[in-house]
Every structure is written in C-alpha cells, then in structure tokens.
Chain A
Amino acid sequence: MAPMDRRKFLSRATVAIAAAIGIGWAVPGVAYVLSPAKKKTGEAEWIVLGAADRVDIGTPSLFKAKVTKTSGWVSTEAEVAVYVVTHDGREFRGFSNVCTHLGCRVRWVADQNEFFCPCHNGVFSVDGQVVAGPPPRGLDEFPVKVEDGQIFVSLEA
C-alpha cells in the first residue's frame, strides 16, 4: 500500500468524523420518528369485569368496565359493556352488546330467552347466533377468562 500523505490523511479523517457525526444525528432521529409506528402485539390486555359468581347459569349478565385508551399523550376513557354467558359455571363466553346490524345496543330479554335489538327487531340466541331480523352475523365474541373468581375480557381480538 502506498504511504498516505498528510493532506490525504487529514482529508479522509475529516470525512470520517463528519460521517460519524451525521450517523449520530441520523440514527436516533430515524428511531424517534418511527417509534410510534411500532405497535405492541402478541400480548392481549385483560380487563377486569367483575366476580364470576355474579353470572347465573344460562343467563347472560351484562358487565361494564371503564377502559383508558392512550394515543400518544392523550388518554380517553371509554366504557365497555360485555355480556358474559355460562352454561356450567366453568366455561365462560363474552359477547359484545353491539348489534351487528347498525350498532344499536342489544339487551337480554329474560322471559323470551334471547337478545333483542330495539332498533330493527334483531334477535340473537343466548350464544350470540342470529335468530331473526336483519343482523348479518352473530354478536361479536371476545376472549374471556376467569382467574381467582374474577372475569377478565380481552378486547384485542
């Protein structure tokens, strides 16, 4: 290799230092701009609904819970309502109370043994299946689990 003269060495060293400084700005800068884009996936967030023994066998019970949604630096509180159903006190299922037709709230009518939507007379069975009326599909189901007698729901799925 030919010996490098002083001028060439200083010129290359200057470029190398400038590049290092440039990278020092660019790497954190790009990470900073892109970081809100990375969404946490894989871990479902479980929301406490209430005591499992509040649910009568065969009768859907409505649970309401407040959830805080955070987007950036703004937090908003929203209320979630979930009908929890069990047929044996061990297996629990959670259904949205939002009608799949046009988004009205359905309610459980005990003496008819069905969910009823007052807007357009949509009817769902105890397991969320469409029985009558315009709804295009059954009630949305959320994953539910019971731990230490408390019901948890995940709204992620």
Chain B
Amino acid sequence: MSDRVGGWLDERTGWRLVWDGVFLRQVPKVNWAYTLGSATLIVVVNQIITGILLTIYYVPSVQDAYATVDFISHDLTAGWLIRGMHHWGASAMVLLVGLHMVRVIYHGAYKFPREITWLSGVGLLVLTLAFGFTGYLLPWDQKAYWATVVGTRMLEVTPLIGDWALRVARGGDDLSAVTLSRFYGIHVWVLPAILLLLVGLHLYLVVRNGISAPPKKGE
C-alpha cells in the first residue's frame, strides 16, 4: 500500500532520489563524535517547535511579558514543559554547536572541499549566540533585564562607534519597551529566517560533499 503511494509520488516528484541521497548515502566508518551535528539539528527542530508554541501565549510588551511567561509556566497544561524544553534546548544548542565545532577542528574536517560548510557553520555559531542573547531578555524578569543591561553595555567599549552601537542595540539610551519589542522581533523573525537559509546550505553541502573520514595515522 505505502509502496504504491510512494511509487505514485516518486513518478511525479522523484522524492526517492532525494531520500536515498540523504539517508542511504555512503558514510565512512565514524564514531559517536560524528553525531553532534545531527544532535544539533534535532535541538534546532525542538527550538522551532517549542518556540512557535511559546508565541501562542507570550506577549512582548513590558506590561505583559512577565505575566504571560508566568501564565505559561504555571497555568497552562504542560506549559512548564514547553518552556523548559525551549530554555534547556537553548543551552544544549550552545553546548552542541561548540562540541561540533571542536570535533571538526580536531579532525581537520574544515579543509577542502568543505570550506563553505565550515563558513556556514561559523555563521550558525554566531546565530546561535544571537538567539541566546535576544531570547534571554524575553521573560523580562530581573535576571533578563540586568543581564541585557550588562550585555548591551559591552558594545559601548567598541572604538569610535561604541555609543552608537549601544543605542542601536537598545533602541535608545536605556533598556526599554523598545528593546524588548525589537529583541522579540529579531528572535522570532530575523534570526530564524537566516537560520533556515544557513541550515539548508549547511545540510546541502554535508550531503553533497559527504562527511570526512577520521584521519588515519600519519595523515
């Protein structure tokens, strides 16, 4: 039955070629350290699912932000779980991309022909940190507020454009409703859009170039 449906679809879309290319491609004999990229991808999916669910109730205004997070955490069924998965998933993301990067450096897997994979990965690393920084403010509690005061102030020491950079990040002189609103917009629209593009490129290149075998002794 599913073979018939699959065949019908394959004649019209050629999905089997893509499926086999992604899931049945040849891989060298590798170890568990090679699963870090896939693990990161799973957490990315987790962040997207739980993030979308959080936006159903979260309201990014200074009056409502904390109250809605409180409502999500304490009044809704499984709200604590959805928020918890997003919260811990964020930490897991930073950890996993870090380990993934260390693995690639250690094996020299960034070399020809995988330089673009590496560069897109660098972009994804920066993106992950930007997600973490903007997302940290959104609960609008004391920790979020003061962490962002400190975090944005770091921009101030930039030579020449420090004051300007600080004002751009905060949307004014102080952390305010404007900061919260734009951090939210960046966190849920700008960064995910770039993320999807870069992840798409990164995965395409992984499939196209294949993964590098662990270097042998003397290589």
Contact = CB atoms under 8 A, between A and B. Distances in A.
Contacts of B46: 25
Given A35-B77, A73-B64, A29 B49 contact: yes
Given A21-B42, A33-B53, A33-B56, A28 B78 contact: yes
A42 interface: no
A29 B50 CA distance: 8
Contact of B70 (A29, A33, A73, A74): A73
A80 B67 CA distance: 26
Contacts of A32: 53, 56, 76-79, 81-82
A31 interface: yes
Contacts of B56: 32-33
A25 B49 contact: yes
B68 interface: yes
Nearest to B52: A29
Nearest to B42: A21
B71 A72 contact: yes
Contacts of A34: 77
B164 interface: no
List the 3 closest pairs (A to B, CB-CB), nearest first. A35-B77, A28-B78, A73-B71
B15 interface: no
A28 B42 contact: no
Interface in A47-79: 72-74
A36 interface: yes
A112 to B, nearest CB: 48
A28 B72 CA distance: 13
B8 interface: no
A73 B49 contact: no
A33 B56 CA distance: 8
B165 to A, nearest CB: 34
A35 B76 contact: yes
Given A28-B82, A72-B57, A36 B76 contact: yes
A31 to B, nearest CB: 4
Contacts of B71: 72-73
Nearest to A18: B42
29 contacts: A21-B42, A25-B46, A25-B50, A28-B77, A28-B78, A29-B49, A31-B78, A32-B53, A32-B56, A32-B76, A32-B77, A32-B78, A32-B81, A32-B82, A33-B53, A33-B56, A35-B76, A35-B77, A35-B79, A36-B76, A72-B68, A72-B71, A73-B64, A73-B67, A73-B68, A73-B70, A73-B71, A73-B75, A74-B67
A70 to B, nearest CB: 9
Interface string A4-35: 00000000000000000100010111011111
Nearest to B68: A73
